[in-house]
Amino acid sequence: MKNINATAVMHNSGHPSFDSSSSPLTGLFVSRVANDVVEAANFDSCSPLQSGPQWLSGRFSHPTGVHDFKVYVPANYRGAPTSLIVMLHGASQDADDFALGTGMNLAAESGGCIVVYPEQGTSANMFRCWNWFRPADQVRDSGEASIIAGITREVMACYEIDPTRVFIAGLSAGAAMAVNLAVTHPDLYSAAGIHSGLAFGVADEAFSAMTAMRTGTCIAQLSAARDAMGVCRAVPLIVFHGDQDTTVHPLNAQGLMQMHRSLMLGTDEAYASVTTELGQVEQGYPYTRNTYRRSGGGEVFGEQWLIHGLGHAWSGGDPNATHTDARGPNAAREMMRFFEAVADSR
C-alpha cells in the first residue's frame, strides 16, 4: 500500500472562470483497457451501442485548455436511461489506476451504470491533485468544479442518463473536490461518495489545506455552503475514512458529517436518528457504520464508515493499483448500493 504525497496541494496553477455548459466534447476514442473485463472497439464521437463493455477516452475542451477523461460503458447498456457515476481520483493517480483500484467498473457492470473518470493534468497540479482548496474551485461557475460539471453534462448528452441518478465520488483530493461539487451543484448530482475527504471550505490556500488535512480541526464554511446551494437541498453523502489515516486525519470525516447534518436538517438538526452497526470484513478490518435518518424512521440522508486499521487508501480496493487496501469493506459496492437506494427513495 502506498501513501499519497501530501505535498501535492502545494503545487498548482489557476483556472479562470468559464461557462461549462458551452464547452463541447471533442470526441471519444478507444484506449487500452484499465480492466480486463473490457475489449476494444472503434467508433467516432459518442459511442454507438456495441456488444461487450467499453472503456473509452475523451477530451473536454474549455477556455483554459483541455481535460482528459475516460468512460466505462457496461455490457448490458442498451440505450435505456441509466445511472452515471463521476469518479475523481486522488493525487498522483490517473483514470486507469483509479478505475482498477476502486473496482467501480466491476460494480457498475453489475448495476448497469456508466462511469466517467475526469483526469487532473500536470499543468494544473504537478502531482495531479485536484485543487479543492482554492476559492475559485469552491464555487459553481469557475475553476475545476465547473470543468468537472461540464464533463458530467457532456457524458449525459452522449448517453441516455437518468438525470435523477447522477452521482459523484472521489478519494482524498478527489473526495474533497467531490464535496465541492455536491455543495455547488446539488441540482446536477443526487448523492456523493466521499473517501478520505474533507468538509467544504476548510481551506482557502495550500498551507491551510495542509493544516486541515493533518489536524482535522478546521471548521467548514456553512454560510458559504448554504449560499452555494441556493434553493436546492443538500444531497445525501456516504463517507469512508480509515482511523489510521496519517495523510487526511480521520477527524475530517467527523467534521464533514457535522457539516452535512447542518446542511441537510438546518434548524431541525435535533430531529435525526443515528443507528450504529459494528462489522468485520472476513480476514480483514473491523468497521463502524453509522446511518443517519430523519427522525421517526425517515429517509436515510447519510452513512459514515470508519474502518479500523485502514490508512490513507481506498477500502476494499485492488492491490494491483495505488492507494488501495483490500482488507476493508468494498467501498465501491457500498457506494453503488447507497446511490441507488437514495435514487429509489425519491
Close Cβ partners of 207 (under 8 Å, ≥ 6 residues apart):
none
Read off the C-alpha cell for 312: 490513507
Q: Which three cell numbers stand for residue 271?
A: 430531529
| Separation in Å, CA 258 to CA 250, 252, 261 | 13, 10, 5
Which are the contacts of 36, defined by CB distance < 8 A and separation ≥ 6? none
> Could you state, in order of their start, the residue ranges of all structural domains in the chain?
6-344
- Mean pLDDT for 107-130 is 94
Contacts of 266 (CB under 8 A, 6+ apart): none
CATH number of 6-344: 3.40.50.1820
149, containing H or E segment: helix 143-158
Among 42-56, 86-100, 310-324, the minimum mean pLDDT is found in 42-56
How confident is the model over 263-291, as a mean pLDDT?
90
- pLDDT category at 50 given cuts 50, 70, 90 is confident
Whole-model pTM: value is: 0.88
Query: DSSP letters along 202-224, please?
Result: S-SSHHHHHHHHHH--PPP-HHH
In this structure, which amino acid lies at residue 31? S
How far apart are alpha carbons 287 and 307 in whole angstroms?
4
Cα–Cα distance for residue pair 155/106, rounded to 1 Å: 19
pLDDT band of residue 298 (cuts 50, 70, 90) is confident
Instruction: Return the pLDDT at 186.
Output: 97
User: Between 231 and 274, where is the model more confident?
Assistant: 274
Measured distance CA(18)–CA(175) in Å, rounded: 23
Strands 272-280 and 286-294: antiparallel
Tell me the one-letter amino acid at 191: A
133 in Cβ contact with 14 (< 8 Å): no
Phi/psi at 260 (5° precision): -65, -45
How does strand 161-171 pair with strand 82-88?
A: parallel
- Inform me whether the pLDDT recorded for 21 exceeds 90: no
Can you say whether residue 216 is alpha, beta or left, with left for phi > 0 and alpha for psi between -120 and 50 degrees?
left
Report the pLDDT value the prediction gives residue 270, as an integer from 0 to 100.
Answer: 61
For cell 486522488, what's the residue? Answer: 90
**pLDDT score for 65:** 78
Question: Model confidence over 57-68: pLDDT tens digits?
Answer: 999 998 877 999
Please check the confidence at residue 43 and state whether its pLDDT lies above 70: no
What is the secondary structure of 246-283 as a DSSP string?
Answer: SSS-THHHHHHHHHHHHHHHGGGTTSEEEEEEEEE-TT
Q: What is the mean pLDDT of the chain?
A: 87
What whole-number distance in Å separates Cα of residue 301 and Cα of residue 289? 14
Sole residue written with cell 482511523: 243
What average pLDDT does range 1-13 have in this prediction? 33
- Render the burial of 239-257: b for 16+ CB within 10 Å, e for the rest: bbbbbebebbbbbbbbbbb
Pairing of strands 300-307, 286-294: antiparallel
For residue 148 the three cell numbers come to: 468537472
217-257: pLDDT as tens digits: 999 999 999 999 987 889 999 999 999 999 999 999 999 99
